[in-house]
Amino acid sequence: MKRDWWKYLSGILLLYAIIGGFIVDVPESMIMETMRNLFYHVGMWFGMFAMLITGFIYSLRYLRKFNETEDIVAVEAVNVGLMFGFLGIFTGMIWANFTWGSPWVKDPKLNGAAVGLFIYTAYMILRGSIDDVQKRAKVAAVYNIFAFFLWIVFVLILPKLAGDSIHPGNDSPPVLPMHLYPAMRLIFYPAMIGWILLGFWIMQIRVRIRKIQMLIEQ
């Protein structure tokens, strides 16, 4: 029980974010009440990043010791990261349709996210096309490390190539007055921590399921 404190924390933080997110006063702006989506949509990206970094670290660890458990953690971290990524895209599309008038706009952040989804879907297909367990783990770990590095480069240099993002917070004069208000900050940061912890929780459950499946097969 003592080791599960972070799961309770995740539940409490998210409950706080859901209740607080709907009752907190948001400032008047052209996007009006949809600003509350900030607590939920941005959380998807935080979760995705946390999961993909975990996957990358476990792929590195796999190549050091060739321990099968670490490969399982890597693949499940990527799975949960993909789930967060798709949810982030969908919540973003609904929001973008309302604020920018179209579900998909040309924006470096959207492109970075979409390319991340392409890379990790390809990672899953690569895994599916190798039958031998150890070979699969090794080849997938190499691809994960290689691709994660290039993806980070892409996310970092894209704004430089494409000009300013229309997402707020890039030092450009904000289209939307969303440089977080103190009251919103009090909800935003706990919500982000809550989403990340939820990601680790889902990942842990999925890793356990995989381990049990492996034992059954043996």
Partner 1 sequence: MSFSEIRYLVEKEIKLELKQKYVINGILLYLVSTIFVTYLAFENAISPETWNSLFWIILLFVAVNGISKSFLQESPARHLYYYTIASPQAIVLSKIIYNLLLMAVLAMLAFGFFLLLMGNLVVNLPLFMLTLLLGSLGLSSVLTMVAAIASRASHNFSLMAILSFPIILPLLATLMKVSGNAMQTFDWSGLSGLIVILITINIAVVALAYLLFPYLWRD
Q: Vertex 192, ends 190 and 197: CA angle to 5°?
A: 95
Residue closer to partner 1 by CB (options 39, 120) is: 120
Cα 9–chain centre separation = 19
Residue closer to partner 1 by CB (options 157, 212) is: 157
SS (H, E, C) 156-183: HHHHHHHCCCCCCCCCCCCCCCCCCCHH
Q: Does 118 bind partner 1 (CB under 8 A)?
A: yes
**2: DSSP letter:** G
Q: Which stretch, 17-25, 34-42, 82-90, 123-131, contacts partner 1 (CB under 8 A)? A: 123-131
Tell which residue, 103, 3, 86, 104, has the closest CA to residue 47: 86
Q: Does 143 bind partner 1 (CB under 8 A)?
A: yes
Report, in Å, the least distance between residue 202 CB and partner 1. Answer: 25
Report, in Å, the least distance between residue 213 CB and partner 1. Answer: 22
Give the N- to C-terminal CA distance of the chain in Å, as an integer. Answer: 30
What's the CA gap between 190 and 39, in Å, rounded? 9
Tell which positions 149-168 bind partner 1, by CB under 8 A. 149-151, 153-154, 157-158, 160-161
Tell which positions 59-88 bind partner 1, by CB under 8 A. 63
Q: Does 124 bind partner 1 (CB under 8 A)?
A: no
Residue closer to partner 1 by CB (options 25, 132) is: 132
Q: Length of the chain, please?
A: 218
Report, in Å, the least distance between residue 127 CB and partner 1. Answer: 9
Q: Does 133 bind partner 1 (CB under 8 A)?
A: no
How many positions of this chain bind partner 1 (CB under 8 A)? 28
Count of CB atoms situated within 10 Å of the CB of 148: 22
What's the CA gap between 143 and 146, in Å, rounded? 5
Per CB under 8 A, residues contacting partner 1 are: 63, 115, 118-119, 122, 125-126, 129-131, 135, 138-139, 141-143, 145-147, 149-151, 153-154, 157-158, 160-161
